[in-house]
């Protein structure tokens, strides 16, 4: 079982690969270096899209969790989508922090600063890491899905805090590159195109990986069900063998 039919998934995979290649070409050679930061600014074409996908992944997790909690739409599909999307969100949040550190070292002079944006992003990472750990605590399927759905909705509160942290507090981190609080773009020309294309490419990558991870989750659940049935059959067969009369035992 997959989120997309095989043809759509195949096309999505090729589109993702092509868009990432184009992004690499524009990010490395097409866009000019920044007037102040030079070539190190090119990390923005990965950093911003990775952060965007992290937001998107956690939003999908929250939406799927809400749909599971609502009785009219409750389905195991939404629990699987929530878990798969959260895993991708944690991965892209980690990527955001790593790229941010690589960018911050030459610009700020340090790998890490106790900056509001950095700290709230790290908190977001650990919140959803805890969510993933919670999904692995043994429990009835409905009980696990319910507590994980509630945990996902609570953790999502940190997403707007991360996004608006550069506006609410004085931080080292620059304000929005695409839009500032006055909704004015601070990037133009080829640099703006490359950034927007990076967002598109990473969004396609997220959709493709979500489909693959959802399929793997379905396969894992099917394997677990088969293993459970096999274990039950073996227990029943063993009990039957023990209860069967032993021929010649009374001779």
Domains of the chain: 6-238 (1.20.120)
Backbone region of residue 109 per phi and psi (left: phi > 0; alpha: psi in -120 to 50; beta: other values): left
pLDDT tens digits for range 111-140: 888 889 999 999 999 999 999 999 999 888
Count CB neighbours of 232 within 10 A. Answer: 10
Contacts of 199 (CB under 8 A, 6+ apart): 48, 49, 52
- Convert the pLDDT of each residue in 143-155 to its tens digit: 999 999 999 999 9
**Tens-digit pLDDT profile for residues 60-81:** 999 999 999 999 999 999 999 9
Q: Is the pLDDT of residue 183 over 50?
A: no
Query: Look-up: residue for tokens 């709230």?
Result: 120
Rounded distance between C-alpha atoms, residue 122 and residue 97, angstroms: 8
Give the span between the Cα atoms of 43 and 84, in whole angstroms: 27
Rounded to whole angstroms, the Cα distance separating 83 from 213 reads 9
pLDDT bin (cut points 50, 70, 90) of residue 240 is low
Candidates 175, 193, 195; CA nearest to 184 is 175
Residue located via tokens 């294309």: 197
State the CB neighbour count (10 A cutoff) for residue 46: 21
What's 26's DSSP letter? I
Decide if 9 contacts 211 (C-beta within 8 A).
Answer: yes
pTM: 0.85
pLDDT score of 162 more than 50: yes
CB 81 within 8 A of CB 32: no
């Amino acid at each position: 079982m997959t989120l997309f039919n095989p043809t759509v998934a195949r096309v999505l995979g090729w589109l993702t690969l092509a868009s990432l290649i184009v992004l690499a070409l524009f990010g490395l050679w097409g866009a000019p270096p920044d007037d102040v930061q030079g070539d190190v600014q090119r990390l923005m074409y990965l950093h911003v899209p990775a952060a965007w996908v992290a937001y998107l992944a956690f939003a999908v997790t929250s939406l799927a969790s809400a749909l599971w909690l609502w009785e009219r739409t409750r389905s195991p599909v939404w629990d699987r989508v929530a878990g798969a999307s959260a895993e991708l969100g944690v991965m892209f949040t980690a990527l955001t922090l790593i790229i941010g550190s690589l960018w911050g070292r030459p610009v700020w002079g340090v790998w890490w600063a106790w900056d509001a944006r950095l700290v709230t992003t790290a908190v977001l990472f650990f919140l959803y890491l805890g969510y993933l750990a919670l999904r692995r605590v043994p429990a009835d399927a409905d009980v696990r899905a319910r507590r994980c759905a509630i945990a996902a909705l609570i953790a999502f509160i940190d997403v707007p805090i991360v996004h608006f942290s550069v506006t609410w507090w004085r931080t080292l981190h620059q304000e929005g590159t695409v839009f500032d609080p006055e909704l004015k773009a601070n990037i133009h020309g080829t640099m703006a195109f490359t950034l927007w294309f990076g967002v598109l490419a990473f969004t396609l990558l997220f959709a493709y990986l979500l489909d693959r991870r959802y399929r793997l989750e379905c396969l894992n659940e099917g394997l677990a069900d088969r293993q459970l049935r096999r274990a039950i059959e073996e227990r029943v067969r063993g009990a039957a063998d023990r209860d069967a009369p032993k021929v010649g035992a009374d001779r």
